[in-house]
Amino acid sequence: MQYDGMAWGIGLLALLVFLVSARILLKGSWLLGWLRGTCGLLLLAAGGVIILLAQDLGTYSVVPENKLLVTIGFEADGPQRYRVSLLQGPEEDTLSLDGDLWQLDARLFQWKSLGELIGLKPGYRLEKITGRYLSIEQQQQSLSSRVALARSRYGIDLWSWLRMDGAPDFYLFDAQARRVNFLPMADGAVYSVSLAPTGLLATPLNQAAEEALRNWK
C-alpha cells in the first residue's frame, strides 16, 4: 500500500509538470516562442520520466512485519523439470524451471535519513529465479533456466540507477541486492524465504524439503 501511494503521489507530480508545460507551450506571443517551446518540451519529457518512475516504484511491496517475502513450492514436471509456485500474500504465480538447484534474487529498498524519520517502510521486489544442474557438463550444455519475476518498463529502473557508482541517493534511498544461493529442488518440497539481517533466509517447511537438503549436503 505504501509503494502504491508513493507511485500515485509521483504520478500527481508528473501531472503537475504536464500542466505547467502545456501552459508554457500554449501561452501568448511568438517573441519567446522558441524558448517557451523548448522549455515546454523538456518539461513534457520530464513528466514522462516521472510517470515511468512512479510505475517502477509501484512494482515494489512493503516488507511484511514477519519478514516473510515468499513461499516457494516445487512439483516434478518431468526429468529435472519442476513446476514452481511462488506465494506472496494472497498472490500466487506459477512457472517452470529446469535443473536440480534453485536460486532467488530480490531487490530491497531501505530508507535512511528523512525517509526513515518519517516512517517509510522497507520495500522489496522479487527479481528472478534461476535453475542450475548439479552436473557441470549438463549445465554447460543446457540453456540458461532463468525466469524474470519483475521488469522495469522502458529502461526506467530507479533501483539500478541508485546502485550505479556515483549516483546520488538524495539522502533517502539505500538500494540493496539480496539472494538465496542455490538450494535443491525436489518433488513436493516447500521453502519459505524471509528477510534476515544478513540477507535472505530460506527455510524448509516440509519433510520433502528437509530430505532434499540432507541428501544434497
- Per cent of the chain over pLDDT 90 is 44
* pLDDT tens digits along 63-90: 999 999 999 999 999 999 999 999 998 8
**Can you list the positions of beta strands (E) in the chain?**
61-62, 68-76, 81-88, 91-98, 101-111, 123-132, 145-148, 173-184, 190-196, 199-204
Q: Model's pTM, two decimal places?
A: 0.78
User: How is the chain split into domains, by residue range?
Assistant: 2-57, 62-216
CB 99 within 8 A of CB 145: yes
Nearest to 100 by CA among 47, 142, 151: 142
- The DSSP symbol for 113 reads T
* pLDDT tens digits along 208-217: 999 999 998 7
CB 124 within 8 A of CB 109: yes
Q: 31 pLDDT band (50/70/90 cuts)?
A: very low
CA–CA separation, 181 vs 176, rounded Å? 16
Which DSSP helix (H) or strand (E) runs through 42?
helix 33-57
